[in-house]
Amino acid sequence: MSVEVGTRTAGGIGQRAIRPDGVAKVRGEFAFAGDLWAEGMLWGQALRSPHPSARIRGIDVGPALLITGVHAVLTADDVPVNRYGLEHRDQAVLAGDVVRYAGEPVAIVAADHPDTARRACAAIVVDYEVLAPLVDPGLSQSVERPIHPDGNVFRDLVIRRGNPDSRGPVVVEGDYEIGMQDQAFMGPEAGLASPAADGGVDLVVSTQWLHNDRDQVADCLGLAPELVRLTLGGVGGAFGAREDVSLHIHACLLAVRTGRPVKIVYSRTESFLGHVHRHPARIWMRHTARPNGEIVSVESRILLDGGAYRSSSYHVTANAACFAAGPYRVPNALVHAIAVRTNNPPCGAMRGFGVVQSCFAHEAQMDLLASACGLDPVEVRLRNALAPGDELLTGQRIEGALPVAEVIRACAALPLPAPAVDDVLARPGGAGRTAGARDVRRGVGFAVGFKNLMYAEGYMDGSVARCRIDGGVVTIACAAAEVGQGFVTLVQQIARTVLDVDDVIVAPADTDMGSAGSTSASRQTMMSGGAVEKVCRAARAELERRAGGDEVDIAALTAREPVDVTEEYHHRLTHPLDADGQGDAHVSFACAAHRAVVDVDPELGLVRVVHLATSQDVGRVLNPLQVTGQIEGGIAQGVGLAVMEELIVEGGQVRNASFTDYLIPTALDAPTVDAVLIEEPEPGAPFGAKGVGEPPTISSTPAIVAAIRDATDAACTRVPVRPRDLVP
């Protein structure tokens, strides 16, 4: 039977289906990893280096062990294999002889009370030989000795396209800087590790990628992978920060050592120190064009500060380079992107992954180009818009859907917001009640961005899902991490549509089954959505075989013998980039346009982001509620990077590791959003849908900054835009 998707009215594909965990979440009964408890449980705590660069001459844990209630204090000597890392194992679980960033763990404690554990950490005496930290990424390659045996360069990538010496008569160039943004999810890192009778360990943890974590934990503990079992604890947001291991190995080491369950929950400060951030970047870019605005060439140098360890710097570099020119036709290009090691906090994945940084630069350039050619900012973008059949900087031809011109037109056509209401709270500075109505200037800015979906450069990606139907009860299992985005809703929608049932149980995600890969790169809708669709179709086929036709009584057909099938989904193969940065490296792309309206008080340098209009290429809307949620939430993070969010790092020290000092948008800071969704189904993707999580965060930031420039004439070449950038 061919299944007509999108025709179900009750909770199927395309419907406003409600989250299966929604009621538990509003009732405060949903079990986040930090809510876990076990009989006899101890609390774990890490001691972190206060120095960004130092040699450890010795550690005296004796004073900590004397504290009543302390059960274990572990250092590097207690770690069977003291190396881990997301893509490359260049990081110590506990620093042995060298610390390379302020916040690097040097010892861990298990105690009967979190405060006992904190006091024990304070009692540990570490003898540091403090060294001068390498904090300027511009100097990383020229220092005499690298700060790590693997060297100071994570990746050095050049993309050459066409004739890089070609020039158009119109030339615009600029230097841009992007500050260090933090994912700042609301639920701090948390996990509970329990020793198992078979010598293994069970870990319930908030993460984005159970299987990658499992492998790292097993390797570091010297255990076979099957002896390390991970289950997803409730995740309070992720946005890239939970791709890297945080407390996982620490909790498991302590559990195995003490023979007791050990829970670790980060404080907000420890969370800021204990996960990777968005790479700060310095970008130079030069565009040349014909007088009519058609781009002739783009040159760029991109310097990313990867901090002390590699994390995902290698692939962030590729994204920054591959999408450096934005969703525009560029016949000639020379892009040089490099990510380097410093003694600053490690940087890695955050929503938009390398493209956020490039987009801020290329969209500022497009506005300069519009101005130089006497064109409207929307017109110059339309004139250069990429379309299917065009080639990227990497020479890859766009085969799928990519409606760049359509999102630009749809966004530009949305009505502008009304003038601000006459209320001081609605003015820049808000509750500070500082701005006078007559001083406020309004500005409008436009930006467009695009990004790859899924992993790239030949990565063999897949996702596994299992469907069991027993007595008519449908249970779907998939190890994809639900981090808030609503994958669990999508599982139910797909199963309802394909199997024509109302009730679908979503099993907990764990490592007892095959990997679903990471909840990142806007990939789970396609990858794990694809696996769930595939397994549901296989189950459907089995039901029809049993029925001898397409009249399926699902309860009767599974009353005696359950249907139990497992399927794996893969996307098409991609390929590495060659020496000129050319190659068919990416699976799929999505674009979005943003138009921002801001009010600025130029005397005080205060900005209120009033309104964001957006149009986004979504392939197909699987759940309008959830797509809207991703767009509004992603824009809020773009607002944060544009005008308020930056981890301030001075001399390798994070100066604002708290919500008192690192400000994220509140309800008074968040703009009203109007969105138009462009549905051009992606060929080959399940239901034609694209991942929607990242595009909202990419071009919202440059649109807001363009609006600030429009209101003030300030250059604003750096984000976040600070009051001092606006007040002469």
Partner 1 sequence: MTEMYVLRVNGDEHAVADAWLGESLLYVLRERLGFPAAKAGCEQGECGSCSVFVDTTLVCACLVLAAAAADTEITTLEGLQPSARGAVTDVQRAFVETGAVQCGFCTPGLVMAVHALLETDPEPTDLAVREAISGNLCRCTGYGRILEAVEVAVAARRGAAR
Q: Whose Cβ is closer to partner 1: residue 32's or residue 323's?
A: 32
CB of 188 to partner 1, least distance (A): 7
| Sequence-distant (≥ 6) Cβ neighbours of residue 474 within 8 angstroms | 467, 468, 495, 499, 501, 503, 504, 505, 554
Contact 302, 358 (CB under 8 A): yes
Q: Whose Cβ is closer to partner 1: residue 32's or residue 101's?
A: 32
| The pairing of beta strand 347-348 with beta strand 277-278 | parallel
Contact 321, 357 (CB under 8 A): no
CB of 427 to partner 1, least distance (A): 11
Q: What span, in angstroms and rounded, lies between the C-alpha atoms of 418 and 425?
A: 16
The sign one gets for the Cα dihedral 621, 626, 629, 635 is negative
Which of these segments, 5-13, 231-239, 371-379, 584-592, binds partner 1 (CB under 8 A)?
231-239
CB of 416 to partner 1, least distance (A): 18
Contact 531, 513 (CB under 8 A): no
Q: Whose Cβ is closer to partner 1: residue 426's or residue 473's?
A: 426
Looking at residues 92 to 121 of the shown chain, list those that interact with partner 1 (rule: CB under 8 A). 113-115
CB of 484 to partner 1, least distance (A): 3
Q: What span, in angstroms and rounded, lies between the C-alpha atoms of 697 and 449?
A: 9
Q: What span, in angstroms and rounded, lies between the C-alpha atoms of 366 and 343?
A: 34
Q: Does 505 bind partner 1 (CB under 8 A)?
A: no
Supply 231's token pair: 């289950």
| The pairing of beta strand 54-60 with beta strand 462-470 | unpaired
In SS3 terms, 184-224 reads as CCCCCCEEEEEECCCCCEEEEECCCCHHHHHHHHHHHHCCC
Spatial CA neighbour of 450 closest among 633, 337, 326: 326
Contact 278, 347 (CB under 8 A): yes
DSSP labels for 463-503?
EEEEEEEETTEEEEEE-PPPSSS-HHHHHHHHHHHHHT-S-
| Sequence-distant (≥ 6) Cβ neighbours of residue 231 within 8 angstroms | 202, 203, 204, 205, 210, 508, 509, 510, 511
CB of 430 to partner 1, least distance (A): 8
Q: Whose Cβ is closer to partner 1: residue 53's or residue 206's?
A: 206
Find the binder of partner 1 among 14, 234, 280, 514 (CB under 8 A).
Answer: 234
Q: Does 138 bind partner 1 (CB under 8 A)?
A: no
Kindly provide the b/e burial profile for residues 338-357, where b requires at least 16 CB atoms within 10 angstroms of the residue's own CB: bbbbbbbbbbbbbbbbbbbb
Q: Under rule CB under 8 A, how many of the chain's residues touch partner 1?
A: 66
CB of 713 to partner 1, least distance (A): 29
**Per-position x/- string for 57-86, each x denoting binding to partner 1 as judged by CB under 8 A, each - no binding:** ------------------------------
Q: Whose Cβ is closer to partner 1: residue 396's or residue 616's?
A: 616
- Amino acid residing at 659: F
Q: Does 666 bind partner 1 (CB under 8 A)?
A: yes
Find the binder of partner 1 among 111, 235, 677, 685 (CB under 8 A).
Answer: 235
CB of 426 to partner 1, least distance (A): 6
Find the binder of partner 1 among 4, 144, 165, 423 (CB under 8 A).
Answer: 423
Find the binder of partner 1 among 486, 517, 686, 720 (CB under 8 A).
Answer: 486
Q: Does 485 bind partner 1 (CB under 8 A)?
A: yes
Q: Whose Cβ is closer to partner 1: residue 392's or residue 483's?
A: 483
Find the binder of partner 1 among 1, 413, 573, 668 (CB under 8 A).
Answer: 668
Contact 513, 232 (CB under 8 A): no
Find the binder of partner 1 among 186, 555, 648, 715 (CB under 8 A).
Answer: 186
CB of 528 to partner 1, least distance (A): 17
Which of these segments, 164-172, 265-273, 377-385, 508-516, binds partner 1 (CB under 8 A)?
265-273
Q: What span, in angstroms and rounded, lies between the C-alpha atoms of 593 and 634?
A: 13
Q: Does 648 bind partner 1 (CB under 8 A)?
A: no
Q: Does 35 bind partner 1 (CB under 8 A)?
A: yes
Contact 344, 52 (CB under 8 A): yes
Which of these segments, 92-100, 484-492, 503-511, 710-718, binds partner 1 (CB under 8 A)?
484-492
328 secondary structure, DSSP code: B
Q: Does 188 bind partner 1 (CB under 8 A)?
A: yes
Which of these segments, 25-33, 134-142, 369-377, 720-728, binds partner 1 (CB under 8 A)?
25-33
Find the binder of partner 1 among 23, 139, 559, 648 (CB under 8 A).
Answer: 23
| The pairing of beta strand 125-130 with beta strand 54-60 | antiparallel
Q: Does 153 bind partner 1 (CB under 8 A)?
A: no
DSSP labels for 501-566?
-S-EEEPPPBTTS-----S-TT-HHHHHHHHHHHHHHHHHHHHHHHHTSS---HHHHTSSS-EEEE
Give whole-number Cα distances, 413 to 175, 256, 410, 416, in Å: 31, 61, 5, 9
Largest Cα–Cα separation, the chain? 79
Find the binder of partner 1 among 426, 505, 547, 676 (CB under 8 A).
Answer: 426
CB of 204 to partner 1, least distance (A): 15
Find the binder of partner 1 among 102, 217, 303, 483 (CB under 8 A).
Answer: 483
Q: Does 233 bind partner 1 (CB under 8 A)?
A: no
Q: Whose Cβ is closer to partner 1: residue 189's or residue 601's?
A: 189
CB of 697 to partner 1, least distance (A): 10
Q: What span, in angstroms and rounded, lies between the C-alpha atoms of 4 and 142?
A: 61
CB of 659 to partner 1, least distance (A): 4
Find the binder of partner 1 among 99, 664, 678, 726 (CB under 8 A).
Answer: 664
Q: Does 34 bind partner 1 (CB under 8 A)?
A: yes
Q: Does 665 bind partner 1 (CB under 8 A)?
A: yes
Contact 698, 638 (CB under 8 A): yes
Residue 368 parent element (H or E) = helix 355-373
Q: Whose Cβ is closer to partner 1: residue 111's or residue 543's?
A: 111
Q: Tell me phi and psi for residue 342, to 5 degrees.
A: -140, 180
CB of 10 to partner 1, least distance (A): 14
The sign one gets for the Cα dihedral 269, 275, 276, 277 is negative
Find the binder of partner 1 among 65, 153, 227, 670 (CB under 8 A).
Answer: 670
Q: Does 26 bind partner 1 (CB under 8 A)?
A: yes
Distance between alpha carbon 92 and the CA centroid of its chain, in Å?
Answer: 23
Find the binder of partner 1 among 32, 154, 455, 487 (CB under 8 A).
Answer: 32
Q: Whose Cβ is closer to partner 1: residue 460's or residue 667's?
A: 667
Looking at residues 628 to 647 of the shown chain, list those that interact with partner 1 (rule: CB under 8 A). 628-629, 631-637
Q: Does 512 bind partner 1 (CB under 8 A)?
A: no
Q: Does 509 bind partner 1 (CB under 8 A)?
A: no
| Sequence-distant (≥ 6) Cβ neighbours of residue 153 within 8 angstroms | 140, 141, 338, 339, 340, 341
Q: Does 626 bind partner 1 (CB under 8 A)?
A: yes
Interface with partner 1 (CB under 8 A): 16, 18-19, 21-32, 34-35, 37, 113-115, 183-188, 234-237, 239, 265, 267-268, 421, 423, 425-426, 431, 483-486, 625-626, 628-629, 631-637, 658-660, 664-668, 670, 672-673
